[in-house]
Amino acid sequence: MSASIFNGFISFGLVSVPIAVLSATEDHSVHLRRIHTADGGRVRNRCWCEAEDREVTYEERERGYELPDGRVIPVTEEELRALPLTTAYAVELVAFVPASVVDPLRIGPGYYLQPQGAVAAKPYVLLLRALQRASKVAVAKFAWHGRERIVLLRVRGDAIALHGLLWPDEVRDPAPAAPAPV
């Protein structure tokens, strides 16, 4: 099993279950590198400042939010860390729904939630069994990489799987892909 990529809690009502998030998938793709054909040297990307027409170092870079008119407002790491994310360390359950109501197009990569310790195993199994018996999945909020996300918890074997979900506005309208009426 892979190493934990996040440690936190599943939170529902007055119950908090300590968990670790483990990757549920493996990438077996062949990853190719870009090389210079003349000598086999590796070709790398460089960060280039358009305003000064020069390469910039990692230390000189920050992030910014681009407004619709093209202006960019700098946003520092300190400002991002100071944002009040109530779900920073908790997978906060917000609803239980039938799996059939979740559009598969919205479902992202999967992870396993692992209870942390013997004390956590009992409420973890309680949630797992409740999801099984009700034939439901749980929808939750979860802050990951500084951004609040919506996630889906479902039973897979004897474990709870977590899937990131796209927000409704992140799924494009299928109308342009539909054929013209005949």
In a domain, 56, yes or no: no
How many domains, the chain?
Answer: 1
Distances (CA, A) of 22 to 29, 72, 103: 20, 36, 24
In a domain, 117, yes or no: yes
Cβ(88)–Cβ(2) under 8 Å?
Answer: no
For residues 32 and 101, give the distance between their C-alpha atoms in angstroms, rounded to a whole number.
39
Q: What is the pLDDT of residue 16?
A: 87
Q: Is residue 93 part of a domain?
A: yes
Assigned domain for 133 exists: yes
pLDDT digits (tens, 9 = 90+) for 28-72: 888 888 988 999 999 888 899 988 999 999 888 888 889 999 999
Give CA–CA dist 127/123, Å, rounded: 6
Residue 39 belongs to a domain: no
CATH code of the domain containing 98: 2.40.290.10
Query: What is the residue-wise DSSP string for 29-41?
Result: PPPP--B-TTT-P
Per-residue pLDDT of the chain (182 residues; tens, 9 = 90+): 578 888 888 888 888 889 988 888 887 888 888 988 999 999 888 899 988 999 999 888 888 889 999 999 998 888 877 777 666 678 889 999 999 999 999 998 899 999 999 999 999 999 999 999 999 999 999 887 777 889 999 999 999 999 999 888 889 999 889 998 88
Classify residue 176: in a domain, yes or no: no
Dihedral, CA of residue 61, residue 62, residue 66 and residue 69, to nearest 10: -60
Which one-letter amino acid corresponds to residue 137? V
Predicted pLDDT of residue 121: 93
Residue 37, in any domain of the structure:
no
Q: What is the pLDDT of residue 151?
A: 93
Query: Which residues form the domain of 87?
Result: 4-25+82-170
- DSSP secondary structure code for residue 89 in this structure: S
The reply to whether 116 falls in a domain is yes
Here the tokens at position 100 are: 């059939």
